[in-house]
A = this chain, B = another copy of it.
Amino acid sequence: MDGTTVRVGLLGCGNVGGALAQLILNDATEIQARTGLALELARIAVHSTARERPAPIPAGLLTHDAAAVVNDGSIDVVIELIGGVEPARSLILQALKSGKPVVTANKELLANCGAELIEAAATSGVDLLFEAAVGGGIPLIRPLRESLAGERIRRVMGIVNGTTNYILTRMTEAGASYHDALAEAQQLGYAERDPTADVEGFDAAAKAAILASVAFGVRVVAGDVYREGISAVTAADIGYARRLGYVVKLLAIVERSAGEVAVRVHPAMIPTDHPLASVRESFNAVFVEGDAVGELMLYGRGAGGMPTASAVLGDLLDAAHNLRTGGAGRALTLEATAIRPIDDLESQYYLNLEVVDRPGVLAGVAGVFGEHRVSIKSMEQEGLGEEARLVFITHSARERDVQACLRDLHHLDSVDRIGGLLRVIGPE
Contacts and interface: CB of A to CB of B under 8 A. Distances in A.
Contacts of A30: 152
For chain A, give the interface size range. Answer: 35 or more
Q: Chain A interface secondary structure, helix, strand, loop or mixed?
A: mixed
A168 interface: no
Contacts of A299: 275, 296-299
A328 interface: yes
A131 interface: yes
Given A35-B330, A142-B146, A293 B311 contact: yes
A139 B327 CA distance: 23
A128 interface: no
Contacts of A137: 292-294, 296
How many chain copies? 2
A310 interface: yes
B150 A310 contact: yes
Interface string A288-303: 0011111111111100
A23 interface: yes
Contacts of A34: 149, 217
A273 interface: yes
A312 to B, nearest CB: 9
Contact of A150 (B31, B275, B290): B31
Interface in A270-296: 273, 275, 277-280, 283, 285, 290-296
A154 interface: no
B296 A148 contact: no
A292 B313 contact: yes
A147 B152 contact: no
23 contacts: A34-B217, A35-B150, A131-B147, A139-B148, A142-B147, A143-B143, A146-B314, A146-B317, A148-B314, A151-B314, A273-B278, A278-B278, A290-B310, A292-B309, A292-B310, A292-B313, A293-B311, A294-B300, A294-B304, A295-B300, A298-B299, A299-B299, A326-B326
Given A139-B142, A146-B314, A151-B313, 12 more contacts: A31-B150, A35-B330, A142-B142, A142-B146, A273-B280, A283-B295, A291-B306, A292-B307, A296-B298, A297-B297, A322-B327, A325-B328
